[in-house]
Amino acid sequence: MRSAAPWFGIAGAIIVLDQLVKWAVLGYFAGRSPVEPVTGFFNFVLACNKGAAFSLLADAPGWQTPLFAGFAIVASIVVGVLLVRHPGKRLFSAGLALVLGGALGNLVDRLRFGCVVDFLDFYAAGWHWPAFNVADSAITLGAVVLILDSFVGQEKANDGRITR
């Protein structure tokens, strides 16, 4: 049986990277305008997102912060259990490690600042994608890997059932 330690190590590395980048971003924007145009499709911004993905519920009066923090804790426990139970499923575990690292990276922000620090702002033709960060990128990539894992390695048994 393989150990889940490397997967937790990847999640930890994502948390550290996410927090280091956010530390640098906060330092960069100290005393500056919260928007730095970079190209015709990208701004470097400083945004405090109190909501969930895509700023869902960001304008709520404050109850959402503990709700999302609690959700992140519960989801992280579930993901951690799955990593311990399935460390040999490499693609599955890689996706989970990315999601875990991203969720915990954003949880650190919620606990420290009451919001998630976002700083990458892409746009085209007047349409802006919601600002995001390293942790959000890890969560998204992890979700893509988990979807890919759901299609890879499936085989039909003799009786027509799909097995792994």
- Catalytic residues, by residue number, are 118, 136
As a three-state string, the secondary structure of 117-151 is: EEEEEEEECCEECCCECHHHHHHHHHHHHHHHHHH
Gap between the terminal Cα atoms of the chain: 17
Measuring CA to CA, which residue among 29, 45, 28 is closest to residue 118?
A: 45
Alpha carbon distance 70, 81 (integer Å): 17
Between CA 47 and CA 128, with CA 55 as vertex, the angle to 5 degrees is 70
Phi first, then psi: give them for residue 61, nearest 5 degrees. Answer: -75, 5
